[in-house]
Amino acid sequence: MIDFEIPTPIKRQVQFITMLGEQVMRPVARYYDEHETERPWDYINLIWPTIRERGGRSFSIEDGKEKTDKDGKPRPRIGYLMLAHVVEALSWGDAGLYLCTPGGGLGGAAVDATGTPEQKERFLKRFGEGEPKWAAMAMTEPHCGSDTAAIRTTARLSEDGKEWILNGEKIFVTGGLMAAKESRGFVVVWATVDPSAGRAGIKPFVVEAGTPGMTVTKLEHKHGIRVSDTAAIVFNDCRIPYDNILGSPEVVKSDTESKGFKGAMKTFDATRPLVAASALGIARAALEFTASYLKERGVKVRYGVAPHLQTAVERDLINMEMQHRAGWLLVLKAVTKMDAGEENALDASMAKVKAGQVATYVTQKAVELLGPEGYSCKLLVEKWMRDARINDIYEGTGQINRLIVARRLLGYTSRELR
């Protein structure tokens, strides 16, 4: 049944995060934008107990048990729907700080998607205890980002077969510093066990923070989301235990179809709608701020008036709002399908394409509509514009996601449509 009612627990959660955004994130957002090498410990320490309580995850999606309502009917799962709302609301507060949130993050998602039950237990337990920790995911290399199958980082077995030895360079690892060095976290590193095997040879490995041979060599200075560390990590004869290869160790010997690489793609199906949600959180911040700023100055949006009678600013505001809404509904559909256990790769990429574009457009327009103030660092709008821009780039660029959408719509393989 078609229904747009937001479940009550989600509404409550969004209310809570909105308060957090207003009272904790917004007040320090400018400071951390200007002090990009400082870590936001105030925010981290404040949020960590909440995350830890939930075992590093907001909602247990795969705890196995069917939930039922009071009449004993199965209650629909809302884990990803909740997650999308959480991510959207945190990004509305501040997208840079959201990315600094301790917990499993992208690395945790990869463990979730590709690890054995034993590995999930071993690697993810830490997010439910002790000090704040992070996990990051390292796929991109200097010479390749979109073309993930071209990675060159290698993993070879030690003579005694007890260890993997990693060599190579990863760049643009979100939270890489926190995961590899500043906490007892880990980095999921994608490396090839057989460079001649292409995609089939690429596997995910967990490298614990502080492992000798793993060095953070550089922190990028970025356009936006400056408080989130983006690290280059070099692996130089970095030795890790044999069973830190994600998935059953047998995949290496038997699996030519590569569960590993498919795992990476599956991770993206899950995380792309969340990137889209983050993008739209920023867009909503800019949209709401602009609308109320202009309203205070006498600009009212008359939704009912004929298009040819609207003022230019009215038209812009309506455009921004409708674009934002279109993006958000695509996100809701993508996560709802995920919750229902349905295949959602098409929807995930559609949502990501749209949201990446919308966030860029809405925030850029907001700067313009606010005049000289919009361009000034006195307001946060110019920062939101810079923060938003990443969303059309990472987790698959707008172009790559359009390709995914087009291939699925047209029924072409990656060889037929490139």
Partner 1 sequence: MISFTPSEEQQLIIDTVRRYAVDRMRPAAYEADEKRTIPQDIIARGWDLGLLPSAIPEQYGGFGEAHQALTGVLAAEELGYGDLSMALYLMTPNLFAIPILHYGTEEQKQKWLPRLVEGGFAPYTAALVEPRWSFDPHALHTVAEREGNVYEITGHKAMAPLAAEAQAFLVYAREGDTTQAFIIERGTEGLTVLERESFMGIRALPTYELRLDDVHVPASCRLGGEQGIDIDHLMNYSRVALAALAVGVARGAFEYARDYAKQREAFGKPIAQNQAIAFMLAEMAIEVEAARLMTYEAAWHLDKGHNATQQAALAKAYADEMALMVTDRAVQILGGHGYIREHPVERWLRNGRGFSTFLGLAMV
Ligand X SMILES: Cc1cc2nc3c(=O)[nH]c(=O)nc-3n(C[C@H](O)[C@H](O)[C@H](O)COP(=O)(O)OP(=O)(O)OC[C@H]3O[C@@H](n4cnc5c(N)ncnc54)[C@H](O)[C@@H]3O)c2cc1C
Which residues have a catalytic role annotated?
395
The answer to the question of residue 219 lying near partner 1 (CB under 8 A) is: no
What does 70 bind: partner 1, ligand X, none (CB cut-off 5 to 8 Å by kind)? Answer: none
According to CB under 8 A, which one of 394, 401, 404, 405 is a site residue for partner 1? 394
Close Cβ partners of 57 (under 8 Å, ≥ 6 residues apart): 103, 104, 108, 127
Other Cβ atoms within 10 Å of 340 Cβ, number = 11
Least distance CB 374 / partner 1 (angstroms): 7
> What is the rounded distance in angstroms from the CA atom of residue 175 to the CA atom of residue 285?
24
Only one of the segments 25-33, 130-138, 234-242, 251-259 lies at the binding site for ligand X (rule: CB under 6 A); that segment is 130-138
Choice between 46 and 409, CB closer to partner 1: 409
Strand partners, 192: 154, 202
Least distance CB 399 / partner 1 (angstroms): 5
- Residue 184 C-alpha from the chain's centroid: 21
DSSP, residue by residue, 89-142: HHHHHHHHHHHH--BSHHHHHHHHHH--HHHHHHHHGGGGSSS--BEEEE--BT
According to CB under 6 A, which one of 178, 390, 404, 405 is a site residue for ligand X? 390
The answer to the question of residue 147 lying near partner 1 (CB under 8 A) is: yes
Choice between 117 and 372, CB closer to partner 1: 372
Q: Which helix (H) or strand (E) holds 170?
A: strand 163-174
- The SS3 call for residue 87 is helix
Other Cβ atoms within 10 Å of 226 Cβ, number = 20
Using N-to-C axis directions, what is the helix angle for 79-100 and 26-34, rounded to 10°? 50
Least distance CB 324 / partner 1 (angstroms): 18
- Give the position of tokens 């500043």: 182
Q: Which residues, 329 to 388, sit near ligand X by CB under 6 A?
A: none
Please classify residue 167 by burial: count the beta carbons closer than 10 Å to its beta carbon, then call 0-12 exposed, 13-18 middle and 19+ buried. middle
Q: Residue 222 — φ and ψ, nearest 5°?
A: -115, 170
Q: Kindly write out the interface string for residues 267-306 of this chain, putting x where it contacts ligand X by CB under 6 A and - elsewhere.
A: x--xx--x--------------------------------
Choice between 284 and 389, CB closer to partner 1: 389
> What is the rounded distance in angstroms from the CA atom of residue 279 to the CA atom of residue 293?
21
Only one of the segments 171-179, 211-219, 294-302, 369-377 lies at the binding site for ligand X (rule: CB under 6 A); that segment is 171-179
Helices (H), 298-344: 312-339
Choice between 266 and 333, CB closer to ligand X: 266
> What is the rounded distance in angstroms from the CA atom of residue 177 to the CA atom of residue 219?
8
The answer to the question of residue 65 lying near partner 1 (CB under 8 A) is: no
The answer to the question of residue 271 lying near partner 1 (CB under 8 A) is: no
According to CB under 6 A, which one of 172, 261, 293, 384 is a site residue for ligand X? 172
According to CB under 6 A, which one of 137, 216, 277, 320 is a site residue for ligand X? 137
Name the site residues for partner 1 (rule: CB under 8 A): 140, 143-147, 150, 171-172, 220-224, 293-294, 297, 360, 364, 367-368, 370-378, 382-383, 385-386, 389-390, 392-394, 397-399, 402-403, 418
